[in-house]
Structures are given as structure tokens and as C-alpha cells.
Amino acid sequence: MPEPVAEPALNGLRLNLRIVSVVIFNFASYLTIGLPLAVLPGYVHDVMGFSAFWAGLVISLQYFATLLSRPHAGRYADLLGPKKIVVFGLGGCFLSGLSYLLAAWGSGWPLISLLLLCLGRVILGIGQSFAGTGSTLWGVGVVGSLHIGRVISWNGIVTYGAMAMGAPLGVLCYSHIGLSGLAGVIMAVALVAILCALPRAAVKAAKGKAMSFRAVLGRVWPYGMALALASAGFGVIATFITLFYDAKGWDGAAFALTLFSCAFVGARLLFPNAINRLGGLNVAMLCFSVEAIGLLLVGFADTPMMAKIGTFLTGAGFSLVFPALGVVAVKAVPQHNQGSALATYTVFMDLSLGVSGPLAGLLMAWTGISMIYLAAAGLVMAALLLGWRLKKRPPVSEPEASAPGQ
């Protein structure tokens, strides 16, 4: 974790601009994810002639690579400093585009082309975990640990924005210039980001003995578990709300998703200081309550308006969960291990989103689609109970595990 630099207090606008000037590199990494996201499944299935299984696997490989490499990204950020990790990650994003380009050129050999696409997705997953973790820690090093919650919030905003922008832009590029042209756009995005990152001032990595992954996990897992439980609500809204509307015979699923997205981003923009003022666990518990109410409204909805209100509340409730719990999680370890803590904490969300979809699909087949929202509400209530238990737990007494900068 970078050492914060003591400096006069920044006003809100200057603070946000400093944060955005660093997390923009995470925006670039997620843009390279979003651009091919809606293109590759159809390309693998319809153009190359492989089955839907292989089309899905090409996409999923990136998420598995991100999940497995994220703890390493945090450890190397602690050891080498976040700037080097960001540049390394963006380099991976560039190489993923190069792999897509080679796959397009080798389309006459479908198996080789498929292997190149798979290789590109794995490299992209590793690159994103390094760029995402590094940009968060770099942002904290620039503005100080007092504002870690705001840095995490802005990282989420640029992530969401890049994915929302990247998918339609990728489809547009593919329709006009094909996969090879889209690969060139991806490489250009990564290259521009690297060239912008290199001249930026680095922040020094904090010195100290690195904790093992098991030791970091032992400190972070309660907060990660609460995050995983709450992430189930996010997952079932994002994945199944269209099927939910179809099952009810309603129109407007796309608008419900828009409401969800607006609430998610809007809450982060409207309440940037809530975590500093109220404390991470207090904000998380309030968010769990709002999210659970939203999911219950969706599960019991008998009108489209009731479902829309539920999706809005779910988005607003989940919005600050990640930064609120993240602030507490990284303070559970010494400062020089907080990169590892943040990466380990994030793994819980990756796992939750990875397993919630298939499990919710099985539950839907047995009990109907409304039940998945009620079950998700139950998981969020369990997160609320866990948050309450953590709130009652005595604080860590070791001086090295105190909040950074204190």
C-alpha cells in the first residue's frame, strides 16, 4: 500500500479530479473488457462455428483469470508500488487486443483462432486485476488514506461507465471494421493509457514485512463474506430481471435496469463523504437494509411499478456496500499489506457473482423466478446480521493494524 503524502485538505472538486486522473486507467482497462464483450460470443458461435459452450467459455476465461490473479496483483502492488502494476496490467490489455487481431487473421484455422481468443481472454483477465487493483492503490497514494472510500467509489463508477459504454461501441466497431478493426481499437485504448500513465509521478510502496495470503485472508474474510452475501442481490437483478419481466408478461425490463444503474451510480455521486462521516460498517448496514427491501419488493411485485421501485432501491442499497466494507477491510491489516487486503476482499465479490447466477438458475427451475429475489433478500439480511456482529466485535488492538496514516 502506498504511503499517503501529508498535504493541505483538498476541496471536493480538486479531490475528485485527482482521483479521476488516476482511476481513469481502470476505466481504460474495463473499456478493453467491454468492447469485445457483446461481439466475441457471436463471433465464436456464428462465424467460427463452435458450440454455445465454447462461446461461453471464451467469455468466462477472463473472469476466472481475474479471480485467480487478483491476490497476486495486490501483493505485487504492495512490493513494487501501484504505478508499475497499472502499467503491467494495461500491457496485458494491449496483448489481449493483439491476440484478437491474430485470431482474426487466422480465421482460416478455426481451432488456432479459438486458442488465440482464449489466450487473449486469459491475458485480459490478468491485466484487469493488476490495472484495477493498482489504480485503486495509486489513487489512495495520491489523495491519502482518509479518502480511500471515495477512491473505491470512483473506481466503481468508472468501471460501470466503461462497461456500459464499451459493449455498444464494440458492436458498432465490429459492424463497420470487423474483429481485426475492433482489436486495433482495443490495442489503441491500452496504448494511449500506457503512454498517459508512464509520465505520471509514482507513489512509494510502504515498507514492511509482507503477510502471507492466509494471514491476510484471516483478517479480511468477515468483510468479504458480507460483501459476497450482498453481491447476490446485485447478481440476480443484473442477470435475471429481463427473464422476470418476461415471466410476468410485462414490458420495461430495460428501463428497470436503467433505474438500477442510475441508482447505483447516483448514490455514489450523492454521498461521497458518507463513509468518512458515519463509518464503514454503519453505512454498510444501512445499505444492506435498503437493498433487502428492494429485493423483497421485486420478489413480491404484482405490478411493473413495484418491481421498478424494487430495482431502484436494490441499486441504491448495493451502491456503497463495496467501498464501505472495503474501507474497514483494508484497515484490518498493516499499511504495507493493504494492497493484498483489498485484492483478497475483492475476490469475494468475484466468487459471489460467479456462483450466484448458476445457483439462482437452479432455484428458479425448482421454485419459480420470484423466489430468487426473495432468496437474495435473505442473503442480504444475513449480511446485515454479520455486519451487526462485526460492529459489536472489539477493535483490533495491534498498532500495526490501525488505519493507515493514523
Q: Which domains does the chain have, with CATH numbers?
A: 12-197 (1.20.1250.20), 213-392 (1.20.1250.20)
Between these two residues, 103 and 362, which has the higher pLDDT value?
103
Q: Interhelix angle for 110-143 vs 148-197, to 10°?
A: 120
The three three-digit cell numbers of residue 265, written as one number:
451510480
pLDDT at 12 over 90: no
- Residue 205 β-bridge partners: 2
Segment 82-91 shows an average pLDDT of: 92
Provide the CB-side half-sphere exposure for 221 (13 A, CA): 6
**pLDDT value at position 9?**
52
Give the pLDDT band of residue 41 (cuts 50, 70, 90). Answer: confident
Segment 325-335 shows an average pLDDT of: 82
Give the pLDDT band of residue 205 (cuts 50, 70, 90). Answer: low
Round to the nearest angstrom and report the end-to-end CA distance of the chain.
Answer: 14
CA angle (114, 28, 98) in 5-degree steps: 30
Give pLDDT tens digits for 208-227: 566 766 777 888 889 999 99
Model pTM? 0.74
Range from 163-177, 203-217, 391-405 carrying the lowest mean pLDDT: 391-405
The three three-digit cell numbers of residue 145, written as one number:
488514506
**pLDDT value at position 193?**
95
d(CA 406, CA 142): 17
3-state secondary structure of 2: strand
pLDDT at 178 over 80: yes
- Residue 2 β-bridge partners: 205
Segment 132-151 shows an average pLDDT of: 81
The C-alpha torsion from 163 through 168 and 173 to 176, rounded to 10°, is 170
d(CA 169, CA 384): 38
**pLDDT value at position 194?**
95
**pLDDT value at position 248?**
87
d(CA 193, CA 24): 8
3-state secondary structure of 300: coil
Segment 59-68 shows an average pLDDT of: 81
**pLDDT value at position 405?**
34
pLDDT at 398 over 50: no
Between these two residues, 286 and 257, which has the higher pLDDT value?
286
Segment 326-334 shows an average pLDDT of: 82
The three three-digit cell numbers of residue 354, written as one number:
460467479
**pLDDT value at position 8?**
46
